Structure 1
Amino acid sequence: MSTDVSDNTAEQRYDITVDGAPAGFAEYEPGEGVVMFTHTEIDPAFKGQGVGGALARGALDDVRARGLRVVPLCPFIKGWIEKHPDYQDLVAR
């Protein structure tokens, strides 16, 4: 299974594809030095296959690379960060 996460700035969301097929997205709102994640959806056909985690990791890695912080308003992104201590430094305090 090959996944690709990309920042769809026109729709303010990170999209994920699995083997080229759309599989989900994480919506965000940009702010001053932060990215506020508001909602995440994974296509039911891909649930339970680690696609949500791949989406979270890809989006958060991009935020880190851009030198920004995260405001995890979305319960999925918030929960994923809580389970992965190496991403907790991204959370704006």
Structure 2
Amino acid sequence: MHRTLAPLALVAALGLTACAHSLVADLDTLEGSLSGIEIMDSEHKLAADLSAARKAISEARQAYAGGQLAEAKALTATAQEKVNGAQAKQYGL
């Protein structure tokens, strides 16, 4: 029985690892997007939106570091919404 469960545990662990790496990459991409928005926001009209997005990214990273993958995924989705909102405001949408 151990021989059949071990491969399943490995597959599950690899799946979580792949998901986690994807999550980190998503957070890195969101931070890059924020940096681009900040550069274009010379009048600092989006400062509050950018701060909220950065906070959401930070909270997602903290949840990930604490091993709370489900919470990190939810916070990443929140961060994505905040970045999208800032981009929409930047372009007047």
TM-score after normalising by structure 2:
0.28
The structure with more helix, counted as a fraction of residues: 2
TM-score after normalising by structure 1:
0.28
Higher relative contact order (CA 8 A, sep 6+): 2
The structure with more strand, counted as a fraction of residues: 1
Q: Pick the structure with greater CA Rg.
A: 2
